[in-house]
A and B are shown apart, each in its own frame.
Chain A
């Protein structure tokens, strides 16, 4: 117990200097700004700011960058709720119910729940780190390729459960996403697949054009189908505060989301991607009203937002100890550490406790600052919905193109954005859901990579997956999930429920 306080004291002592607080504030403001502008990602911003950090103290530099990261995630949820535009994989799930809430005039409520849920999850994440960082690092080390394969397989099967409507369509979408995910150079053999001689495809299809096209632009197009007065858009603006009923439903969802997110965030790579999806699936599974999901369920916003933030917090464990980033932004954070001559490793916690705990403390401070910055802004964001669509749509379109271009400075990315917008429109017309597609797209390649690596390491012996206890447990759970989908009894209830 003493240790927790000592750790937190070290951390807050370092983070609570005027300079570091100022850097934290600048980072949070900048992050919120770029997060709210659809498509302009934190990656380009952080990379541009990196040279400035040469002159800062290591702690100050990392505090500012972490601020940008959180701010951007925060801002990303704002656009997800208001205009159905996910900035990165973590805010995809927020689109599902957040945007539906906005359509019902509950945009302000959705944003408030997201903000407070994230703050709570952030606080828990910080305490978890302070109490158990070394133990958690040990747990993370148990996860090797076979465990990842099992986890990704579980995620893909869960994606079918996640979808509402036809199971066949959901499976088809997961498989289609998987196929798109296979484009690019195969990690194990170095062979390029579906490259068609286009060098930009050698590293696979970028996530940003896929997500922005499938969600945001496809939504805009399907809205333009309808007559102006019938357009089904988030133009109603209700009370900014959650009702008592909404609060009652959000609180347990935030708690569950925090647990799921904290656990998955610890796993190096892949884990954080899954956290918001997993939290959403869990909520839908245990909810008494699963039919409300996808139509503006409060739990569908609260749980994934909490999971996302808790996961972001605990993912600093694999980042700081193993140097394995969970997202591209985290990868830049490793870069920033290297500039300062800090090599990631478990020794870091012992050798530079000021730095390790300083970052942990600053994450908490950043979370508080973000709530302070964002709560008054919610009214302003919601007012954006008053902008007439003939003005809003072209602006969103331009910003999406600019943002997509800037992720890799390539026009090919904008072409891909156009292709995926059309594809997303077709999906909407066919009544196919996009979320399982994206999950297949993100998890498929990770699953393949880990499957093949496990098989190479075991020299072709598939028993490697069942001889390892963690992998065997996850596979058993996956099998249970498959049974649930296949068993006729479940299918009946599912049809009634969804």
Chain B
């Protein structure tokens, strides 16, 4: 009896050791920086492990690690539309060892959607480098008679307030609201927890249209379930060469390209920012990265700290306009 429990204790100890190994990857060492970086850099992603956002961030960081031989450790702090992750980095030491992979909806949108956020997008952060941007597709069911955006607009007008659109996240809601506002339509929004759910309701005719992430809409279009009428990017997308942009169909104000960037806490030394931006841009501009991003309906979007700051300011203005149109009550 005693003997066997000793052996089993050994098994349990081994188990604990495994757990410790798994978790220790999340704990940074206590050393101080002489020359940056001399220890792992912790990068916070405000979205769940394994989500589309997380996958993109890990891919870019892997490229940066190859170029710089620095070690990046991803820490997922999901929750509250990315706010929890942003808050953690805003409060971190500005020594270059705490970074944030931030989405435009989190950094520019949330401060206007949520009131009393404990962090400020400009005061608490230094932009490092933008690295990717995406677009949304205006998607309808394949059996919908509308072949163009103009057809759809007319059809929705005829429904006189009985039309609906689905959305799976805030950016998708924003894109749809910009369209209905520009086209002067009254359409009821239907909330879903994710884009695939919303998209399958569009395909089955439960809702009239939605603005979807391209990778999903392209998959369902190939399956003959939906049709893509337009894209919200500035230029046509390489993966959808025959689909016009919103600007081409005369709705230029409904253009929207959510984007991703690396941020550091405010007061991080500029030399460190420059170093990081250099790695990020090198990682973003390889052909492999371009291919990886195109497969997911995104494109590389390299930027300097200055250009990213400028772009952030513009996006904050854009979200100000969106919040007014959608009439989101600050929470």
Whether B193 sits at the interface, judged by CB under 8 Å, is yes
Q: Which of A362-416 contact B (CB under 8 A)?
A: 380, 383-384, 386-388, 391, 395, 398-399, 402-403, 406, 408-410
Bound: A216/B188 CA distance, A? 45
- Chain B residues within 8 Å of A57, by CB: none
**Interface contact B196-A335, CB-CB below 8 Å:** no
Whether B328 sits at the interface, judged by CB under 8 Å, is yes
**Interface contact B296-A459, CB-CB below 8 Å:** no
Stretch of A14-22, A188-196, A284-292, A470-478 at the chain-chain interface: A188-196
**Interface contact B50-A47, CB-CB below 8 Å:** yes
- Chain B residues within 8 Å of A176, by CB: none
What is the minimal beta-carbon distance from B219 to any residue of chain A, in angstroms?
3
Q: Which of B179-200 contact A (CB under 8 A)?
A: 188, 190-194, 196-197, 199-200
Q: Which of B82-138 contact A (CB under 8 A)?
A: 83-84, 87
Bound: A409/B54 CA distance, A? 15
Whether A495 sits at the interface, judged by CB under 8 Å, is no
**Interface contact B5-A345, CB-CB below 8 Å:** no
**Interface contact B223-A345, CB-CB below 8 Å:** yes
Which residue of the partner chain A has the closest CB to B58?
A: A51
Count how many chain B residues have C-beta atoms less than 8 Å from C-beta atoms of the other chain.
65
A: interface residue count bin = 35 or more
**Interface contact B216-A335, CB-CB below 8 Å:** no
**Interface contact B295-A341, CB-CB below 8 Å:** yes
**Interface contact B75-A346, CB-CB below 8 Å:** no
Whether A344 sits at the interface, judged by CB under 8 Å, is yes
Whether A232 sits at the interface, judged by CB under 8 Å, is no
- Chain B residues within 8 Å of A51, by CB: 58-59, 62
- Chain B residues within 8 Å of A457, by CB: 164, 190, 206-207
**Interface contact A141-B224, CB-CB below 8 Å:** no
**Interface contact B216-A343, CB-CB below 8 Å:** yes
**Interface contact A199-B87, CB-CB below 8 Å:** yes
Given contacts A190-B328, A409-B77, A449-B193, contact A338 B223 (CB under 8 A): no
- Chain B residues within 8 Å of A36, by CB: 15
- Chain B residues within 8 Å of A331, by CB: 48, 50-51
- Chain A residues within 8 Å of B19, by CB: 37, 40, 399, 402-403
Whether B78 sits at the interface, judged by CB under 8 Å, is yes
Q: Which of A37-91 contact B (CB under 8 A)?
A: 37, 40, 43-48, 50-51, 54
Identify which of A324, A339, A387 contacts B12 (C-beta below 8 A).
Answer: A387
Residues of A bordering B, CB below 8 Å: 33, 36-37, 40, 43-48, 50-51, 54, 141, 144-145, 185, 187-192, 199-200, 202-203, 268-269, 321-324, 328, 331-332, 334-336, 338-339, 341, 343-348, 351, 380, 383-384, 386-388, 391, 395, 398-399, 402-403, 406, 408-410, 449, 453, 456-457, 459
